[in-house]
Amino acid sequence: MSAARYITFALVALCLALPARADVPDGALRARVERLRADRDVRVDGDNIAAPALIAAFYEQRDFQPAWTPAREKELVALVEASRADGLEPSDYHFDALRAGGENAADRELLYTDSLIRLAYSLYFGKLDPRRFDPQWNFARTLDGIDPPRALEAMIAAPSLGKALYAYAPQMPEYRALRSALARYRALRAAASRLRPRERWVAFLVRPETLLPWPRSLVAQHGTRRHRLHRRRKHPPGRLPDRPRLARRRPAPSCPHRLRPPGYG
């Protein structure tokens, strides 16, 4: 047996050996998964399940045993919240439902699994479909031989869920540079928002609809206010402006041959 196959087998065995949650009744998860396979449009706490076929295959492989422990659940919630660093929105990964929890343990199990699948899919393929922006896009999205149920099993069984999950993220230095640039932009935006009250600062943000009128209106407002303040300081109410003093004549520059310019005779 090769080393890679042995490691995969050990991870799957370890995941199957994890203790099941005591609050999941026997048979409840099987009934929920069977309903998920029969009716693809299943909602849990108002959220849609995005990968019903993969979730059904995953739990059938586990003989319908729960996969999530409390420690793993907390780790996934932290990863979903930290997905903002990748430009993702945690609400797209059942973040509110995961934090709130639910009374139905089988539904919670499905939510955690679907959240992990969504997050891994977004990191591997990207959140947006490029064909929506370019109809001529002809690069196919392939899994490159990855078996999704076994990959999901290995992620949950890994010592670190974060490291296992981000193994599916782009490993290029350009991607790390983009994450760093996004972090710097958010830091600058947070620092700028503290300079003025938010309701006043928003008016100064440069957006496409304010890009043209923004400098003109700002200059006009600044010039009018400065002119008003200047008049108030120079001419207080009830006083007439002083007579302007005549500029003192500067002496004529020296000329050769003791000549004087006209008017300086």
| Nearest residue to 118 (alpha-carbon basis) of 186, 54, 208 | 54
Q: What is the mean pLDDT of residues 32-50?
A: 81
pLDDT > 70: what percent of the chain? 63
pLDDT tens-digit series, residues 175-198: 999 999 999 999 988 887 776 555
Residue 209 neighbours by CB under 8 Å, 6+ apart: none
Band (pLDDT 50/70/90 cuts) for residue 47 is confident
Band (pLDDT 50/70/90 cuts) for residue 7 is very low
| Nearest residue to 32 (alpha-carbon basis) of 76, 77, 69, 66 | 66
Which of 63-67, 125-129, 245-249 has the weakest average pLDDT? 245-249
Q: Domain coordinates of the chain in residue numbers? A: 3-129+142-173, 178-230
Asked if the model's pLDDT at residue 233 lies above 60, the reply is no
pLDDT > 90: what percent of the chain? 37
Measured CA to CA, the distance from residue 36 to residue 31 in angstroms comes to 9
- Mean pLDDT (the chain) is 75
Band (pLDDT 50/70/90 cuts) for residue 22 is very low
Give me the pLDDT at residue 144, please: 80
What is the Cα gyration radius of the chain? 34
| Nearest residue to 63 (alpha-carbon basis) of 106, 42, 35, 33 | 33
Which of 18-22, 132-136, 220-224 has the weakest average pLDDT? 18-22
Q: What is the mean pLDDT of residues 238-258?
A: 50
